[in-house]
Amino acid sequence: MSKQNRHSLLATAPSHILWTVDHNGIRIFNRQNEQHYVLEYPAAAVWDLLIRKRSIAQLIPILRAIQQVSAGEAVALVQQCLKDWHQQGLIEIEEPDGESVDHHPVQ
């Protein structure tokens, strides 16, 4: 998968994932394994943008602006979040046309 294609990917929460925003960040509950997660800033910002159907490419300039970091730092944050959340079963990665991607696409 080319770099440009990877950056057009979207992330969605599977139906077994419940989440809400509270004063500590974002709370996530996985109904399949009953695991609970709390995402604090800046990971909470990444989650919020991804779940609102922002592509990976759209996240980078937004994160750069709100965190005042370099493009490389923003990319590293997104990559780490995607890797962790995909491994934990919190997100599914899909093509813009809705086709699911089975492996972690952002290296």
Q: What CATH code is carried by the domain that includes residue 57?
A: 1.10.10
Full domain range(s) for residue 90: 3-100
Closest CA to 42 of 58, 59, 30, 57: 59
**Residue 106 within any structural domain of the chain:** no
**Residue 105 within any structural domain of the chain:** no
**Residue 49 within any structural domain of the chain:** yes
**Residue 36 within any structural domain of the chain:** yes
Number of domains the chain is built from:
1
**Residue 12 within any structural domain of the chain:** yes
End-to-end CA distance of the chain: 10
Angle at CA 55, nearest 5°, toward 50 and 32?
40
Strand partners, 22: 25
Instruction: Name the pTM for this structure.
Output: 0.79
Mean pLDDT by 10 residues, the chain (107 residues): 56 93 94 96 94 87 94 94 94 69 50
Q: What is the pLDDT of residue 107?
A: 46
**Residue 107 within any structural domain of the chain:** no
